[in-house]
Amino acid sequence: MDGLRLRFFSLVLPLVVTAACGTDAPPGEETSTGDDSTSAPTSMTNGTTPTSTNSTSGSTTTPATSTTVDPTDSADSGSTTMMFVGIPDMPGGGECDVFAQDCPVGEKCMPWANDGGNSWNATTCSPVMRNPGQVGDPCTVQGNGVSGIDDCDLGAMCYNVSFETNMGTCFELCHGSPEVPECDDGLCAVYNDGNLPLCLTDCDPLLQDCPGQQLCLASPSVNGFVCILDALPAAMGDYGAPCTYVNDCDPGYFCAIPDIVFGCGNPTGCCAEFCDISAADPSSQCTGQANGEECLPWYGMDTPPPGYEDVGFCGLP
């Protein structure tokens, strides 16, 4: 079974994005036109439709990707989950604010699915259980992975939940604000129209150094890359493969807008490669080099964040 698909709502490769105007944006880190969401396994899709966008700066086009992600559990957890997640361009909807944690004492603000689906599309106040789990601890959800009720502490949620056992791991929720998201550890990645702000492990897209069956993809909300569960663990998303969700592609690839991948006939996008722009012959890393694809800077003309100076993507300029 594949994992939950995430959909982003605003501005990164793995999200629903809209074209960025006036400034260069990292490929896949654009503004989204749709909402972010995560989905459940193939048998539990939530029907979210990701959108994509791209930005151009000079002659360099940054590859935006779809806003929905489909993560599966890590290999060592033995669980299989699917969710849709998205990026934050605007505040999420619901009865409380995950960033502010403004629920009454003894309760916490949690992402949940208010429509009976399997995508976190709203927020709700849920009780904080006795002796709650801390970030990194094993946890259990009540009902299902998008019920919004678990035994993690205030500011954390049970994520990467197994359908078979309803058990997962407590992940930190972003704090601060949607405009300036913060995490005590890792990077903030906001999905599903702002309803799902998760703190995820940062990573190197050129090394694909995430543990288990995870992909290193651009965060939808802050500059940098984070580990996201692979929606299709089997090798089904190499160069040129059609993709709909950000995590539909294999490690080392990302879901790019159709215009930058030679011969891509899929309206939602095709898998493109990351590449190292500091290599002696950067474009030689690109499978589509003979068809005009080049290794282009991920962050375009902007100054990349520390540690990501060499990150590029293969695409048509």
The count of residues in the chain is 317
Contact between 276 and 286 under an 8 Å Cβ cutoff? The reply is no
Listed residue (185, 166, 167, 165) closest to 175, CA to CA:
185
Report the Cα–Cα distance between both ends of the chain, in Å, rounded. 37
Q: How far apart are CA 140 and CA 161, in angstroms?
A: 8
Q: What is the predicted pLDDT for the residue at 129?
A: 97
Residue 174: the pLDDT is 96
How many Cβ atoms from other residues are within 10 Å of residue 262's Cβ? 19
Tens digits of per-residue pLDDT, 155-173?
999 998 888 899 999 999 9
Q: How far apart are CA 122 and CA 67, in angstroms?
A: 17
The pTM of this model reads 0.69
Model confidence pLDDT, tens digit, residues 130-153 = 999 999 999 999 999 999 999 999
Tokens describing residue 110: 């949690």
Q: What is the pLDDT of residues 271-296, one digit of tens each?
A: 999 999 999 999 999 999 999 999 99
Low-confidence spans in the chain with pLDDT less than 70: 1-94, 233-235
Q: What is the C-alpha to C-alpha distance for residues 81 and 160, in angstroms, rounded to an integer? A: 6
How high is the pLDDT of residue 209?
Answer: 96
